[in-house]
């Protein structure tokens, strides 16, 4: 069974708790959809842990921003502050590691991207059914796993003239910074079955939020980044 995670954002406490919970539930393979760093105070530790346990790790927009010198004006002030801090804090080894991550991964049954399947490098969002419908041409596998919005959900795409079977876009939510009003880390369990449809299950995991918040404040990162962990927004 595969565990699919995304948007860790330097939150080591959330990542460790998620991996432990996954192992207890029978996960034997991990896929990460990106944004390993950004916002949280442990970018190096999270990158190292993900590199050891995940068979696939994709590039997220915060990962890309942290390893580049690109302008940060399109980020909000708190995110821009966090990216700038991460650029200085990130070990060259993990900077190189993140720079080697692809935008997309595919298997016969599933497509994996951080943002959208049509243009994963453009960092667009899938926030509702209309957004999901706009991505029909981006994948032909039965399932497409995405992250980026930090909001878990499933969108069904009925059969059409190009693909004669239903497909689903699954947003796996966020490990390190949920934004659906639930502060617990979120992951998805994905199990393929020979005798029927694949199983997709959302799992929420409690973790030491206070410790993650304290680390953010001690690092000199914006207080709001610590506060939001407690409310899942």
Provide the residue range defining the domain that includes 100: 2-184+197-230
pLDDT of 225 over the 80 cut: yes
Q: Write the pLDDT tens digit of every residue in 3-56.
A: 999 999 999 999 999 999 999 999 999 999 999 999 999 999 999 999 999 999
The residue to which tokens 């708790």 are assigned: 17
**pLDDT at position 70:** 82
pLDDT of 160 over the 70 cut: yes
Confidence of residue 141 (pLDDT cuts 50, 70, 90): very high
**pLDDT at position 71:** 80
Q: Is residue 14 part of a domain?
A: yes
User: Rounded to whole angstroms, how far apart are CA atoms 78 and 96?
Assistant: 25
The 10 Å Cβ neighbour count of residue 211 is 12
Number of compact structural domains in the chain: 1
Percentage, residues of the chain above pLDDT 70: 98
**pLDDT at position 99:** 97
**pLDDT at position 72:** 83
Asked if 179 contacts 151 with a C-beta cutoff of 8 angstroms, the reply is yes
Q: Domain with 52 in it: what CATH number?
A: 3.60.21.10
User: Rounded to whole angstroms, how far apart are CA atoms 147 and 93?
Assistant: 25
Nearest one of 155, 177, 151, 183 to 167, comparing CA atoms: 155
Q: Write the pLDDT tens digit of every residue in 181-221.
A: 999 999 999 998 766 678 999 999 999 999 999 999 999 99
**pLDDT at position 73:** 81
Mean pLDDT over residues 221-230, rounded?
97
The residue to which tokens 């699919």 are assigned: 4
Q: Is residue 192 part of a domain?
A: no
Q: Write the pLDDT tens digit of every residue in 58-114.
A: 999 999 999 998 888 888 899 899 999 999 999 999 999 999 999 999 999 999 999
Q: Is residue 208 part of a domain?
A: yes
Nearest one of 72, 9, 8, 74 to 38, comparing CA atoms: 9
Q: Is residue 107 part of a domain?
A: yes
- The sign one gets for the Cα dihedral 56, 14, 8, 180 is positive
User: Rounded to whole angstroms, how far apart are CA atoms 35 and 149?
Assistant: 11
Q: Is residue 51 part of a domain?
A: yes
Q: What's the 3-state SS for the chain?
A: CEEEECCCCCCHHHHHHHHHHHHHCCCCEEEECCCCCCCCCCHHHHHHHHHHHEEEECCCHHHHHHCCCCCCCCCCHHHHHHHHHHHHHCCHHHHHHHHCCCCEEECCCEEEECCCCCCHHHCCCCCCHHHHHCCHHHCCCCEEEECCCCCCEEEEECCCCCCCCCEEEEECCCCCCCCCCCCCEEEEEEECCCCCCCEEEEEEECCCHHHHHHHHHHCCCCHHHHHHHHCCC
Q: Is residue 53 part of a domain?
A: yes
Mean pLDDT over residues 141-157, rounded?
97
Q: Is residue 191 part of a domain?
A: no
**pLDDT at position 74:** 80
Mean pLDDT of the chain: 96
Q: Is residue 190 part of a domain?
A: no
């Amino acid at each position: 069974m595969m565990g699919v995670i995304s948007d860790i954002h330097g939150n080591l406490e959330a990542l460790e708790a998620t991996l432990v919970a996954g192992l207890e539930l029978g996960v034997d393979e991990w896929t990460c959809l990106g944004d390993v760093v950004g916002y949280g105070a442990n970018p190096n530790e999270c990158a190292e842990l993900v590199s050891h346990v995940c068979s696939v790790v994709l590039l997220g927009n915060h990962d890309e921003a942290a390893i580049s010198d690109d302008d940060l004006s399109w980020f909000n002030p708190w995110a821009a502050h966090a990216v700038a801090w991460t650029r200085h804090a990130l070990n060259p080894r993990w900077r190189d590691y993140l720079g080697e991550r692809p935008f997309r991964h595919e298997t016969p049954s599933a497509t994996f991207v951080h943002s959208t399947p049509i243009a994963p490098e453009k960092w667009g969002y899938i926030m509702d059914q209309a957004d999901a419908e706009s991505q029909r041409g981006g994948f032909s596998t039965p399932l497409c796993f995405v992250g980026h919005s930090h909001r878990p959900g499933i969108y069904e795409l009925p059969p059409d003239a190009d693909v004669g079977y239903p497909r689903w876009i699954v947003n796996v939510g966020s490990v390190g910074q949920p934004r659906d009003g639930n502060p617990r880390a979120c992951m998805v369990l994905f199990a393929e079955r020979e005798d029927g449809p694949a199983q997709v299950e959302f799992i929420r995991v409690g973790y030491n939020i206070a410790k993650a918040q304290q680390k953010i404040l001690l690092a000199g990162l914006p207080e709001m980044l610590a506060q939001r962990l407690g409310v899942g927004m």
